[in-house]
Structure 1
């Protein structure tokens, strides 16, 4: 009898232990699914192929020449963002980033284990708050033709990625669309409904190829809550579809603390108001202010992680690898080809 009782208690203890293990595994799984273990620390490196073609070399902290992507990974970067333009020129600064070039670079990054974001500008060159020019080939399209072009082009590029074994985790349907895109038809201040429908064309095309990919609507000035409320209220009221609210943030060395706090307040408001996730798609700061830039990056990463309901997805640095390139002075690289100490912030 005593042996049977002891055996029964041993079996009970084993069952109890198994239950505890399953409970712990479930907790860890929930923790990971909340985004805590998958926070994106990213870099837009769309200029990198052009820099390499011009002979630029990249060196790690010890001075060893390496692939720039490997150096970024050593500094905590786990995601790569790439812009794509419709029919770009061959200009090394204001051109390239064609569909084929984007696919080649995305495949290269994905093969190294990076998560991928594709940033559709829906233009032949830069699209931002001050300019949202239609691709030359789309200039004379009526609005129905323009919607078809957005849908068809988006789907075509993403199918190219898919056929090359690349699944983007995120897709931006437009870049810094503070006043819409594809002006004048899609200028939000003149016709919010048109803008919403164009966004939906990009959204629907993305989901047709990659149903699980998250679609981002991206604005600049992440600290400007009134801008975000106006634009996303407009999209919502006109049936606009998006999964993530993307932000850019380029504070100065003097105001970064206040701008970061305003950005956090805005992110929390966006989550509360629309129930959507948020992401910082672009940041940058003067490359000569290494220690200040480091503090800025650490702080905005921590603030994005702290967004309510775990809906802060990540932070991306814009063209950190730039040094002596295109007059751009907000990278995270020194003029000797090595990363600056600011890039170490992504290791935190």
Structure 2
């Protein structure tokens, strides 16, 4: 976390959650129980010492840990500082002895434990990695011993109290290193030695504890590859790659970067053969509890979807902090002492995103690898510009998303340019266009588009992002056997955007049916939904004798919106969709050995 986020004044109360959350499916399975649903509660001890009380939804006072447990939280994370000040509520405490006390209490309540070593007397994060005062004048050799001794001491004290942490972080958000300047990434060999000392100390006390190396911006694959490639080449020892993911601090909605997070999780697990965990996540629960709920479900699903069980779990950073205590924008608790409805997301069983069926990318040279840097109008692509001079705005360069090259639009003067492919001889059907993009912003228009396919042009503005983000255009209905796809920029001087790994694929899944027939219509299917369009309640009629059926509602972009299990003998059952935004939604029914898909319109 960034300390600058922690020192603001009190904020407004959390908004009430949407009513339909109460209907969600909160099932558990043996697999789900191994998934860590966590909360970092480093502030809890001093909050309790200063008479902050906690209440459940019914207004009944309870132990904060019990409320979190009732919300599906099964793991607790604690930061530990070396010799912190005890003067400032927000920026003090978290001493080794306090952490042992709180970890023992959490363990006795059945929680799994993560310990986060900051190796500082206060906050350590990408912007500050200040050595503890007691270590300030030590040589590098002594710093190595300091890391070992401090880590060993805390781990041994935990062990003496019957606590065996399942995970231990050596360093907190260290893309630029720790214990500056000796442990800076500018001297990666020394940083690696410090991390290895922490690793060795953890294993000396608890061989089963998994050591985590943790960076911020979990959606930034290039950041992680750069760091862990160097750590690997220097002989770094670790078990788990930890990530922070805060769309709020990226100034974007999570839907812009969730696919990038998912890609990075899977790439880290595959590239380095390690397990992965989202060690910190958070959102503005006061302003947008439903959006944070949706984000938390999506993040859990992304982690659960990492192949071979290498996705360990998700931890919310400091959900319990009243804003009147910490001023923290992304807390998940109201000043009335009650939790935000966003935390209900931890009651949902993570569902790995459905495997994408094999598909063929119909585009040629989709990664711009055919020519090398500095190529205008790369192979298989066509360029257009509003003036002859402005053709120079279109060119390839290094720094690709997952390979060497990318396409970039940039010019020192204002320009209009597009780079496109026209595919002919296509099978008529529904297509999806995906691409990885970066965008510095400032343009009059900057769009990925699909047109000339027999319908109205579809386009999508590129999100402003200095890291790679994957975007997609769905529902491209080709009716004339062709489709032009491309990148269009109407830009001011110095504006830039980049494109890489573009995919145009024919959807192979079955066509979704629109169930607009009435229940009495003889042509109606055995299962149907009505009314369609719907305002508040959607009625689902199942075939006679149906088994328990799971209903999953998704947005057009595939975002999970609602999961509910229908049980009992009643054929007609109601779904409360009042909390959904207006738009088109997909419905998937699973049960009794069948899977059916439908769509409906929410007014």
Question: Hey, what does 2:157 align to over in structure 1?
Answer: 160
Alignment map for 1:268-307 (pairs within 5 Å): 268-288=266-286, 289-307=288-306
1:235 alignment partner, one of 231, 234, 240: 231
Question: Hey, what does 1:6 align to over in structure 2?
Answer: none
Does the aligned pair in 2 maintain the 1:43–1:77 contact within 8 Å?
yes
* Deviation (angstroms), 1:332: 1.2
Question: Hey, what does 1:347 align to over in structure 2?
Answer: 347
Structure 1, residues 65-95: CA drift from partner, whole Å, max 9, x if none? 0000000000000000000000100021111
Does the aligned pair in 2 maintain the 1:175–1:218 contact within 8 Å?
yes
* Deviation (angstroms), 1:308: 1.8
Question: Hey, what does 2:308 align to over in structure 1?
Answer: 309
Does the aligned pair in 2 maintain the 1:60–1:339 contact within 8 Å?
yes
Larger Rg: 2
Alignment map for 1:63-212 (pairs within 5 Å): 63-90=59-86, 91-188=88-185, 190-212=186-208
Greater displacement, 85-94 / 322-331:
322-331
Deviating above 4 A after TM superposition, structure 1's stretches of 4 or more consecutive aligned residues are none
* Deviation (angstroms), 1:254: 4.2
* Deviation (angstroms), 1:310: 1.5
* Deviation (angstroms), 1:36: 4.9
Distance 1:231 1:308 in 2: 22
SS at match of 1:325: helix
Distance 1:84 1:254 in 2: 31
Distance 2:258 2:192 in 1: 29
Name the count of aligned residue pairs: 315
Distance 1:303 1:123 in 2: 32
Distance 2:179 2:133 in 1: 11
* Deviation (angstroms), 1:335: 2.2
- Normalised by the length of structure 1, the TM-score is 0.89
* Deviation (angstroms), 1:147: 0.2
Distance 2:183 2:252 in 1: 36
Task: Give the number of the structure whose residues are more often helix, by fraction.
Answer: 1
Distance 2:218 2:163 in 1: 29
* Deviation (angstroms), 1:223: 0.5
Structure 1, residues 186-235: CA drift from partner, whole Å, max 9, x if none? 001x1000111100000000000000100000000000111101110111
CA RMSD of the aligned region, Å? 1.2
Greater displacement, 53-62 / 328-337:
328-337
SS at match of 2:212: strand
* Deviation (angstroms), 1:287: 2.2
Change (3 A) 1:327 1:37: closer
Q: Is 1:59 the equivalent of 2:58? A: no
Distance 2:247 2:157 in 1: 36
SS at match of 1:43: strand
Distance 1:254 1:225 in 2: 17
Distance 1:125 1:344 in 2: 31
Question: Hey, what does 1:258 align to over in structure 2?
Answer: 256
Task: Give the number of the structure whose residues are more often strand, by fraction.
Answer: 2
Question: Hey, what does 1:215 align to over in structure 2?
Answer: 211
Distance 2:310 2:257 in 1: 20
- Normalised by the length of structure 2, the TM-score is 0.52
Distance 1:314 1:47 in 2: 21
Distance 2:176 2:66 in 1: 37
Does the aligned pair in 2 maintain the 1:287–1:334 contact within 8 Å?
no
Distance 2:107 2:177 in 1: 30
Distance 1:37 1:328 in 2: 30
Structure 1: which 5+ residue stretches go unaligned? 1-30
Structure 2: which 5+ residue stretches go unaligned? 1-28, 349-603
Structure 1, residues 77-119: CA drift from partner, whole Å, max 9, x if none? 0000000000100021111100000000000000000000000
Greater displacement, 232-241 / 249-258:
249-258
